């Protein structure tokens, strides 16, 4: 019996202003980060291409932020509000929003995410973003573990059959089917039952951008999706295997963890044209290219630019034709380095259109990406791309 070829997971790091500080100056379209119409158009492009999920980042002070947001004053919509709006304007794509690990209101957080999972039909996810100050601090990471445990406990407290709607007895919800929650987060007790029934996924998908050893342990223990930057790839071994071992050490099925590499793309009809677009982006971005970089990361757009110009670019910057980009994604995936990619087009909407209409079809023709949907919920769709045991 022939073993089916493994297929990659693809996500879109969603923004309408592009993933480069100079993108809004180079783009031929006036971009507006607060325009629901532009967000909807981008989300639908990704959905039509069968991309599994889109990730909306928020905090510009984290490595997960869009490079197009060089300062805290850059206007943007709150992720869960935007994603709830997109839930009504899309049908299938997963909707993942960033959440700071410093949140001290697990009840409010659990309720927002559960509500998003309900209104989207099971497509919700959250990207738990560690604060810069966390680093390797055991105390800071202990608070993060407590937050996840409390949110999960609130979701799990509701039995799937707790809502009975019994007209004869007049019972709408059976309280005996809601467990008591008794948790503590950053010294604050969490005992209030969640005013939201069990959502379609039970637990919305949890993502985490790994930027440290402690973050890797956290992802191995809790995350469904681990997102990596090129600067933090383990040396000399596939990142997917490294994190899978951490998941196994935490008592989990390693196949449950999907490891995605965030890749920035500049796609054009020819390599020369792509390099020209990239050069114009760098010229337009100015000093903001380095200023926008995370101070805890060794990667900046400036350093990536030097690598691309010398032909020694890191694997997270892909500049070239649709075939060039597809070839590089294929190579990284077939090496077993990662399970898929979080695509971050430097230009939106033009760069996103080239990714979805030119690069994705090449991957599909090679049997590396799906040609039809694999389930209803985001968790179901991710399960279809699990690594073989």
Q: How does pLDDT run across 8-56, given as a tens digit for each residue?
A: 999 999 999 998 888 888 888 888 999 999 999 999 999 999 999 999 9
Q: pLDDT at residue 59 above 60?
A: no
Mean predicted confidence (pLDDT) in 193-205: 94
Q: pLDDT at residue 286 above 50?
A: no
How high is the mean pLDDT of the chain? 84
pLDDT level of residue 368 (50, 70, 90 thresholds): very high
**Which tens digit of pLDDT belongs to each residue from 125-158?**
999 987 665 555 666 788 889 999 999 999 999 9
Q: What pLDDT is recorded for position 312? A: 34
Lowest-pLDDT range, 62-66, 240-244, 367-371?
62-66
Q: Is 117 helix (H, G, I), strand (E, B) or coil?
A: helix
Of 240 and 332, the structure prediction assigns the larger pLDDT to: 332
Q: What pLDDT is recorded for position 388? A: 62
Q: pLDDT at residue 229 above 80?
A: yes
Provide the whole-model pTM. 0.88
**Residue located via tokens 């783009």:** 27
- Angle formed at CA 124 by CA 118 and CA 126, multiple of 5 degrees: 135
How far CA 156 is from CA of 180, 204, 251, 291, in Å, comes to 10, 11, 19, 42
Contact 321, 270 (CB under 8 A): yes
Q: pLDDT at residue 288 above 90?
A: no
CA distance 16 to 39: 6
Q: Which of 134-138, 288-292, 326-330 has the highest mean pLDDT?
A: 326-330
Q: Is 108 helix (H, G, I), strand (E, B) or coil?
A: helix
Of 329 and 312, the structure prediction assigns the larger pLDDT to: 329
């Amino acid at each position: 019996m022939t073993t089916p070829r493994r297929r990659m997971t693809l996500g879109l790091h969603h923004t309408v202003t592009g993933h480069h500080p100079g993108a809004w100056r180079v783009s031929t379209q006036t971009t507006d980060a607060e325009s629901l119409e532009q967000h909807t158009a981008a989300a639908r492009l990704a959905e039509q291409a069968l991309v599994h999920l889109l990730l909306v980042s928020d905090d510009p002070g984290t490595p997960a932020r869009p490079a197009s947001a060089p300062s805290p004053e850059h206007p943007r919509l709150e992720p869960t509000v935007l994603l709830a709006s997109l839930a009504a304007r899309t049908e299938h794509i997963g909707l993942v929003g960033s959440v700071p690990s410093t949140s001290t209101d697990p009840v409010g957080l659990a309720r927002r995410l559960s509500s998003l999972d309900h209104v989207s039909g099971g497509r919700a996810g959250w990207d738990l973003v560690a604060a810069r100050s966390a680093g390797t601090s055991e105390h800071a990471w202990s608070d993060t573990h407590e937050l996840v445990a409390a949110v999960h406990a609130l979701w799990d407290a509701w039995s799937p059959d707790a809502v009975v709607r019994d007209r004869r007895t007049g019972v709408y919800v059976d309280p005996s089917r809601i467990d008591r929650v008794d948790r503590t987060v950053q010294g604050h007790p969490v005992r209030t039952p969640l005013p939201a029934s069990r959502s379609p996924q039970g637990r919305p998908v949890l993502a985490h951008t790994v930027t440290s050893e402690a973050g890797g342990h956290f992802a191995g223990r809790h995350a469904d999706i681990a997102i990596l930057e090129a600067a933090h790839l383990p040396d000399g071994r596939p990142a997917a295997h490294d994190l899978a071992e951490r998941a196994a050490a935490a008592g989990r099925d390693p196949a449950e963890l999907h490891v995605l590499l965030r890749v920035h793309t500049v796609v054009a009809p020819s390599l020369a044209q792509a390099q020209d677009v990239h050069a114009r982006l760098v010229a337009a971005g100015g000093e903001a290219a380095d200023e926008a970089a995370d101070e805890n990361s060794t990667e900046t757009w400036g350093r990536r630019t030097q690598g691309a110009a010398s032909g020694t670019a890191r694997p997270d910057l892909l500049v070239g034709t649709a075939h060039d980009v597809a070839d590089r994604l294929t190579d990284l995936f077939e090496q077993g380095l990662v399970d898929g990619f979080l695509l971050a087009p430097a230009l939106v909407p033009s760069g996103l259109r080239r990714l979805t209409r030119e690069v994705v079809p090449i991957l599909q023709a090679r049997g590396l990406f799906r040609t039809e949907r694999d389930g209803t919920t985001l968790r179901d769709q991710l399960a279809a791309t699990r690594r073989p045991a």
